[in-house]
Chains A and B, each alone.
Chain A
Amino acid sequence: MNELPIMECPIPISEYPAVTMAHGGGGRLMNSLIDRMMIRAFSNPLLNEKHDGAVFDHPGGKLAYATDSHVITPLFFPGGDIGTLSVYGTVNDLAMCGAMARWMSTGFILEEGLPMETLWRVVLSMAEAAVRTGVSIVTGDTKVVDRGKGDGIYINTSGIGTVLHGVSISPSRVREGDSVVLSGDIGRHGMAIMALREGIRLESPIRSDLAPLHLMVRDLLEAGLEVHCMRDLTRGGLASGLNEIAAGSGLSITMEEDSIPVREDVTGACELLGFDPLYVPNEGRFVVILPPEEAPGAVEILRGHSDGCDSAVIGSVTERSSSGVTMTSVIGSGRIVDMISGEQLPRIC
């Protein structure tokens, strides 16, 4: 057996002696945790790609493998619940690798005292989501923790998908001049949860954008479009997704603020809390990077789906400049769009 080299903890105590919420916020701190601790310890060619899932060769075609854990309060929200989220999360991660989810595992961590009725509603949602996305939940695990030591339900899913024939998607394939296509309006999931959790009453509640992305991806790929890279815009939002692609491709991305669709209720809730919709999580949105001549076709395909009806070209890939992502603001000036540090916190006034 090969022995592991003895390694010191790569994140010195002087920096962060304990995990903070920001380490899970999808921003720079989380990326540094993954890079400096996880990738360093687990390093291998598949993991080091840092894609949403791992893609590997298998007799009969390429397979993709992805996992996703779900901790969310409240468990039920306008537009979905933790069950649907846990299935779509992995389906979408696989879709970003150009794969259709086939088999899925699910691990439940349940808190003592959770009403059986609640669990049943979540399980039914998962079953429905699995049918809708054509995935079979083929294995699972259930654990119960003491009351007070969990948040009702935590769910982990992992899935295996078959990669559509001839597809190769990775930030390294992104080329200068490529267009950036966004699949729909941003910020709805994060603001739906935030409004509900914090009791912000709006005229009508914001619905999460939670949606499976696999059919949109399938249609893009089956139309023969030369998709170079895709990324779903979950934690850290559009800004983090584009920064990751820019870093992975060694190029820069520039976008136009007024081409990015944001619904009015989301804008309003963001204004209220001092949030920037560019950093707010989504659960049914992704970006596609492809040659500019193919961008109008991609937009047309996406708009043929109800979850892609606001799809738009929002920017393009440029040669590497000093910052990864830049944006022309609504008043026509330039700014950088940095990756967020940790999580967005509401402002004072």
Chain B
Amino acid sequence: MKFVSEYRDRNAAMEFSRLISEAATRGWNIMEVCGGQTHSILKYGIDQLLPEDLELIHGPGCPVCVTPVELVDQAVLIAGMEGVIFCSFGDMLRVPGSVSDLLGVRAAGGDVRMVYSPMDAVSIASANPERQVVFFAVGFETTAPVTAAAVLQARRLGLENFSMLVSHVLVPPAIEAVLSSPGCSVDGFLAAGHVCSVMGYEEYEPIASRYGVPIVVTGFEPLDILEGIHMCVRQLEGGTCKVENQYLRAVSRKGNTAAVDMIREVFTVTDRKWRGLGEIPGSGLQLRSGFRDLDAGLRFGVGHIQVEESGECISGEVLRGNRKPDQCPAFGGECTPEHPLGAPMVSSEGACSAYYRYRHVRKQDE
């Protein structure tokens, strides 16, 4: 398939593997920020092509994983209310709240619908004027423009029965949180190509120079990731700390300015709590005051709900890159995709789910 198969070529992968081994004179810790990249690494076995002391550390870039438990609880409460149609991306349905998940609400009779785009939720609202339609807006900068477009579309249509629970988060503050956390051992970053296709990479330049780390904007196919690692290793070996762009076919320095403008029209930056990481200043998006009437947390009176995270799940350690999923005592035992303790085990971009799916040896099979 064009634009896919050429980035999965075995010979080219072997060549990059050789180049990386030649370039690396010592061990390095490189964090891939995005959960989609983590899954590619595990699915294709990219780490098996790297020198032994080149460590890939999995970052916090899974929007489902970092959505705080109280937001899941708010979603569960709203979805269970009479007359509500609750729309969410498929990934969120299995994420455990403190009591239930959205699939549990659906099994108990709630009208929970899986959508592919926030625009689908707007269409559902338009077709069901007698029902309240709520969209669970989860995601990084990648999905924020579509959420913004849905808000504007709902406004244009004058829909009074549409609202959203917003949990959009931003990547650069999370990278800074990782870098400034005690004991951080990350030497360089692969930044998330899809996020940068929207936002560009200008905003990463101050981070690279302030913390002295190379950042390489990287795509998601095996060859993208191998090339990104190679570029990062070359910088580390050469002692530079620039922002470089591997994902040239999708990313420019300025990004998609029309999409960025739309985000700015609808949202404003706010402090946001991340599951496992705590509150990170300036790391979230919230509806601007002119759109606050679309805030489902306010509309349904659940926005004040605060919940403490359960202590059993070490997802914070995993999301900060301090522990690998299989270093968690609950991994594969108490915590499985059927009985998750935390979101990283069920999200399609979660590191724990990637390890379980592509690496884990199930005990009953032994």
A349:B139 contact, CB within 8 angstroms: yes
CB distance from A300 to the nearest CB of B (A): 27
A336:B358 contact, CB within 8 angstroms: yes
Q: How far is the CA of A189 from the CA of B268 in the complex (A)?
A: 44
B357:A338 contact, CB within 8 angstroms: yes
Other-chain residue from B10, B94, B114 in contact with A346 (beta carbon distance below 8 A): B114
Q: How far is the CA of A324 from the CA of B143 in the complex (A)?
A: 37
Selecting from B43-51, B77-85, B277-285, the interface stretch reads B43-51
CB distance from B194 to the nearest CB of A (A): 6
A149 contacts partner chain B, Cβ-Cβ < 8 Å: no
Question: Could you say which residues of chain B place their CB within 8 Å of the CB of A329?
Answer: 43-45
Selecting from A118-126, A167-175, A264-272, the interface stretch reads A264-272
A20:B107 contact, CB within 8 angstroms: yes
Evaluate whether A348 and B10 lie within 8 angstroms (CB atoms) in the complex, with A21-B103, A267-B4, A333-B46 already known. Answer: no
Evaluate whether A336 and B360 lie within 8 angstroms (CB atoms) in the complex, with A247-B365, A349-B194 already known. Answer: yes
Evaluate whether A20 and B103 lie within 8 angstroms (CB atoms) in the complex, with A28-B338, A331-B49, A347-B348 already known. Answer: yes
CB distance from B365 to the nearest CB of A (A): 6
Evaluate whether A331 and B8 lie within 8 angstroms (CB atoms) in the complex, with A28-B338, A274-B348, A338-B360 already known. Answer: yes
Q: How far is the CA of A19 from the CA of B366 in the complex (A)?
A: 29
A322 contacts partner chain B, Cβ-Cβ < 8 Å: yes
In the complex formed, the residue of A with least CB distance to B364 is A247
B349 contacts partner chain A, Cβ-Cβ < 8 Å: yes
CB distance from B8 to the nearest CB of A (A): 5
B89:A331 contact, CB within 8 angstroms: no
B104:A349 contact, CB within 8 angstroms: no
A19:B107 contact, CB within 8 angstroms: yes
Q: How far is the CA of A198 from the CA of B92 in the complex (A)?
A: 18
A322:B143 contact, CB within 8 angstroms: no
Question: Could you say which residues of chain A place their CB within 8 Å of the CB of B362?
Answer: 323, 338
In the complex formed, the residue of B with least CB distance to A323 is B361
Q: How far is the CA of A271 from the CA of B42 in the complex (A)?
A: 17
Question: Could you say which residues of chain B place their CB within 8 Å of the CB of A323?
Answer: 361-362, 365
Question: Could you say which residues of chain A place their CB within 8 Å of the CB of B255?
Answer: none
Other-chain residue from B9, B48, B106, B108 in contact with A333 (beta carbon distance below 8 A): B48
Question: Could you say which residues of chain B place their CB within 8 Å of the CB of A342?
Answer: 94, 337-338
B218 contacts partner chain A, Cβ-Cβ < 8 Å: no
Total contacting residues, chain B, CB less than 8 A:
52
In the complex formed, the residue of A with least CB distance to B365 is A324
Q: How far is the CA of A333 from the CA of B41 in the complex (A)?
A: 10
Question: Could you say which residues of chain B place their CB within 8 Å of the CB of A258?
Answer: 10
A1 contacts partner chain B, Cβ-Cβ < 8 Å: no
Evaluate whether A346 and B116 lie within 8 angstroms (CB atoms) in the complex, with A15-B339, A18-B108, A247-B365 already known. Answer: yes
Q: How far is the CA of A347 from the CA of B90 in the complex (A)?
A: 6
B104:A331 contact, CB within 8 angstroms: no
A29 contacts partner chain B, Cβ-Cβ < 8 Å: yes
A348:B64 contact, CB within 8 angstroms: yes
B299 contacts partner chain A, Cβ-Cβ < 8 Å: no
B359:A336 contact, CB within 8 angstroms: yes
A144 contacts partner chain B, Cβ-Cβ < 8 Å: no
A133 contacts partner chain B, Cβ-Cβ < 8 Å: no
B267 contacts partner chain A, Cβ-Cβ < 8 Å: no
Q: How far is the CA of A146 from the CA of B106 in the complex (A)?
A: 21
Other-chain residue from B4, B13, B64 in contact with A331 (beta carbon distance below 8 A): B13
A341 contacts partner chain B, Cβ-Cβ < 8 Å: yes
Evaluate whether A346 and B89 lie within 8 angstroms (CB atoms) in the complex, with A322-B361, A334-B48, A338-B357 already known. Answer: yes
A335:B139 contact, CB within 8 angstroms: no
A331:B107 contact, CB within 8 angstroms: no
User: A224-261: contact bitstring with B at CB < 8 Å (1 yes, 0 no)?
Assistant: 00000000000000000000000100000000001000
B276 contacts partner chain A, Cβ-Cβ < 8 Å: no
A330 contacts partner chain B, Cβ-Cβ < 8 Å: yes
For the complex of A and B, list the 3 residue pairs with the smallest distance between their C-beta atoms, beginning with the closest. Answer: A333-B45, A345-B90, A341-B337
Chain A contact residues, CB within 8 Å of chain B: 15, 18-22, 28-29, 32, 198, 200, 247, 258, 264, 267-268, 271, 273-274, 322-324, 329-336, 338, 341-342, 345-349
Q: Give me 20 other A-B pairs in contact (C-beta within 8 A), A21-B103, A329-B43, A347-B91 excluded.
A: A18-B108, A19-B107, A22-B103, A28-B338, A267-B4, A268-B1, A271-B1, A271-B4, A330-B8, A331-B8, A331-B10, A331-B49, A332-B45, A338-B362, A346-B89, A346-B90, A348-B89, A348-B138, A349-B36, A349-B139
